[in-house]
Amino acid sequence: MAIGESTIEMYRLHDPDVQLMLQVRDDDAEAFEELMLRYQARVVTVLEHLVGQRDQAEDLAQDVFLRIYRARKSYVPGAKFSTWLFTIANNVASNARRNRARRKEVRWDASPMDSRATPAVEQLAVAASGQMPARRLDKEEMRDIVRVAISGLNERQRMAVLLSKFEDMSYEDIAATMVLTPQAVKSLLFRARENLRQILEPYLAEGTPPGTSESPNGSPKSEGDDV
Amino acid sequence: MNASERSDDVAISRDEEMLVAYLDGKLDEDAARELAERLAGDEALRKRVNRLAQAWALLDELPRAKLDESFTRSTIEMVAVAAEADVERDVSRRKRRQWFAGMSGAAALAVATGVGFWVTNQMLPDPNRQLVEDLPIVEEMDLYQQIGSIEYLEQLADSNMFPEEAENDL
């Protein structure tokens, strides 16, 4: 669909990152570096929590920036730059997930965030100690619990949550990034919140990590997230 | 799309929509007052809302990636290599196109030349053609001049006095 001149002008005037991207379109290498510096950590963060592995997240982030550079000549500012960038990131992550599923490797969602750094749910249970269910978890353990919880969401819920929480995107921007309606994003985020609440309920109620007791109706992943 | 993602597409109820708007701070004043009244009188709902908010707040614990300069450098190097490869590919594609264009031009020129030669040969009078056609007469010119009249030769032919020559002429 063609983008109106007024839309282009609006983003060109109001989004400094769009202005940088237009400079990249004109082969300004410094503008590209500046865009990278502004976004690389944000992209890696979202991708890391999306795909579950830091190394892969960095590889995918490089792929995202490469695609941006290659697409520079045809760039037309029809949305905020961040929306455009995270749309590419979402597509890159989806492609990677499909390729990985095709290769029949380890389950995407069940893979630990980082095998060196992140214990499995069972290990968390031990760490939280069965003898002291209400003991206060340290910062690292809490992070691991939240990682486990977010990895329990399906891919779309996870993406919507990450864009909302980390990128502070509006429903409309998330919808544009994920090619959904704003109403669908509201549904997605509500279900994601509910799933997180259910996974984290043991921790919220007693301070114990998820997985140490049966959740009311099991993990949200058991609803059919078979990726 | 898996079953979980399909269930995401089912619309949420008005109450659920109100809850998510409340949690995101996007509920208008009237609706917020209505929900506050319900929360005051409904402990289960109040607990659910609190849990939803707490679970959401816990996401702040997720670590943000910190990248050192090497990531930026290696990405820019990778992009530069790819850009160079793109340029080389474009140049090679352009050269190939130019070669094809040159060859096509040469072929078209050859065909045009051939056609032009043929057309010219067919359409324009060839001064030598008449000469070739008249060659038998030219060769016997001295003899014909001695006879003096073409009508006399025709009469001789019609008289059938020299049938073998007439047959040879045919």
Q: What are the structural domains, with CATH classification, of chain A?
A: 1-111 (1.10.1740.10), 113-212 (1.10.10.10)
Question: Could you tell me which residue, B42 or B156, shows the higher pLDDT?
Answer: B42
pLDDT over threshold 70, residue A211:
no
Asked which of B61, B81, B103 is the last residue of a domain, the reply is B61
Token pair listed for A8:
């282009």
- Percent of chain B at pLDDT > 70 equals 88
Q: What's the whole-model pTM score?
A: 0.68
Chain A residue closest in CA terms to B84: A70
Listed by number, the residues of chain A in 17-46 with a beta carbon closer than 8 Å to a beta carbon of chain B are 32-33, 36-37, 40-41, 44-45
Question: Based on the domain organization, do B53 and B90 belong to the same domain?
Answer: no
Q: Which of A82, A75, A79, A74 is nearest to A11 (CA)?
A: A79
Quote the CA–CA distance of A46 and B79 in Å, as a whole number.
21
Confidence bin at A192 (pLDDT 50/70/90):
very high
CA distance to partner chain B, nearest, from residue A34 (Å): 10
Quote the CA–CA distance of A155 and A171 in Å, as a whole number.
17
Question: Based on the domain organization, do B98 and B143 belong to the same domain?
Answer: no
B4 within domain boundaries: no
How many domains does chain B divide into? Answer: 3
Residues B12-63 pLDDT 10s: 788 888 888 888 888 888 988 888 899 999 999 999 899 999 999 999 989 8
Chain A residue closest in CA terms to B48: A197
Question: Based on the domain organization, do B50 and B77 belong to the same domain?
Answer: no
Quote the CA–CA distance of A84 and A88 in Å, as a whole number.
6
B33 within domain boundaries: yes
Residues B55-91 pLDDT 10s: 999 999 898 999 988 999 999 999 999 888 888 888 8
- Percent of chain B at pLDDT > 90 equals 21
Mean pLDDT, chain A, whole residue set = 80
What does chain B come to in residues? 170
Residue A31 DSSP one-character state: H
Question: Based on the domain organization, do B36 and B86 belong to the same domain?
Answer: no
Q: What angle do CA B93, B94, B100 make, to 5 degrees?
A: 90
What's the average model confidence in pLDDT over B115-144?
79
Note whether A79 and A122 are within 8 A (CB): no
* Chain A residues within 8 A of B12 when measuring between CB atoms: 186-187, 190-191
* Chain B residues within 8 A of A30 when measuring between CB atoms: none
CA distance to partner chain B, nearest, from residue A3 (Å): 27
Measured between CB atoms, which of A65, A190, A224 is closest to B16? Answer: A190
CB contact under 8 A, A191 and B78: no
pLDDT over threshold 80, residue A163:
yes
Q: What angle do CA B7, B8, B14 make, to 5 degrees?
A: 105
Question: Based on the domain organization, do B98 and B146 belong to the same domain?
Answer: no
Note whether B41 and A132 are within 8 A (CB): no
B84 touching A (Cβ < 8 Å) = no
Residue B12 DSSP one-character state: P
Q: What angle do CA A70, A76, A81 make, to 5 degrees?
A: 80
Question: Based on the domain organization, do B55 and B20 belong to the same domain?
Answer: yes
Least confident of A25-29, A59-63, A168-172, B7-11: B7-11
Asked which of B40, B61, B82 is the last residue of a domain, the reply is B61
B28 within domain boundaries: yes
Residues A101-136 pLDDT 10s: 777 555 555 444 444 344 444 444 444 444 444 455
pLDDT of residue B169: 56
Question: Based on the domain organization, do B164 and B141 belong to the same domain?
Answer: yes
B2 within domain boundaries: no
Chain A residue closest in CA terms to B10: A187
B147 touching A (Cβ < 8 Å) = no
A71 touching B (Cβ < 8 Å) = no
B134 within domain boundaries: yes
pLDDT of residue A210: 61
* Chain B residues within 8 A of A201 when measuring between CB atoms: 51
- Percent of chain A at pLDDT > 70 equals 75
Q: What residue numbers bound the domain in which B48 lies?
A: 9-61
Backbone dihedral angles phi then psi of residue B24, each to the nearest 5 degrees: -90, 5
Question: Based on the domain organization, do B120 and B73 belong to the same domain?
Answer: yes
Note whether A213 and A202 are within 8 A (CB): yes
B1 within domain boundaries: no
Residues A16-43 pLDDT 10s: 999 999 999 999 999 999 999 999 999 9
* Chain A residues within 8 A of B21 when measuring between CB atoms: 186
